[in-house]
Amino acid sequence: MSSLSVKRIGKDLQLVLESIKTSTDVDATKARIISVTSESLYEWTVVSSAPANSIYGTLGHNYELAVLFSDDYPHEHPTVSFTTPIYSPLVTPDGNICEKLIESGWTPDQHASDAIMLVLYKVFEDYAERCEADVHQEARKCLELDPIEYEERVRHFH
């Protein structure tokens, strides 16, 4: 364990916990982090909600994500994956996302919450835009060819 990564992950965890506690923003049109727990400093479980105006938010469900850090953090981005089943072109059936989604814009001065919020935004709000981060081609094809069927699958997948 790198002392830099331990220090930085601890700071990032405190920032996320503090933002949850002090959040007065109840803007239902944005994804948000509801809670964070950690078995170890390097493994977080994040519970989030989707924006109410997203097809994912209309279900009224919360979504659980796993956030994993390496010893090279913050020089290497955290890995974010969904542990709650979700039907999306940006998420594989087993919950993984394309590493490029976070990796392409990651810099060491960013925080873990930046990576988490980017994933939430892309998956919950920007999923309709085709991008190189698509990892579930069947979901992309369904979305493009039959949006009504796509919405049905989103509802039944969770």
Note the pTM of the prediction, 2 decimals: 0.92
Question: Which pLDDT does position 1 carry in this prediction?
Answer: 64
User: How far apart are the C-alpha atoms of 48 and 11, rounded to whole Å?
Assistant: 20
Rounded average pLDDT per 10-residue block, the chain, 158 residues = 89 92 68 90 95 89 96 97 96 94 92 96 91 92 97 90
Q: What is the CATH number of the domain that holds 27?
A: 3.10.110.10
Using DSSP, state whether 134 is helix, strand or coil.
coil
Sign of CA dihedral 129, 101, 28, 82: positive
User: Are residues 134 and 90 in contact, defined by beta-carbon separation less than 8 angstroms?
Assistant: yes
Q: Residue 9 to residues 6, 19, 21, 71, 155: CA-CA distances in angstroms?
A: 5, 15, 18, 10, 35
Share of the chain above pLDDT 70, in %: 94
- pLDDT tens readout for residues 95-123: 999 988 899 889 999 999 999 999 999 99
User: How far apart are the C-alpha atoms of 153 and 61, rounded to whole Å?
Assistant: 15
What is the extent of the structural domain holding 151? 3-157
Q: Containing H/E element for 54? A: none
Domain count within the chain? 1
- Provide DSSP, 87-118: -BTTB-TTSBB-THHHHTT--TTS-HHHHHHH
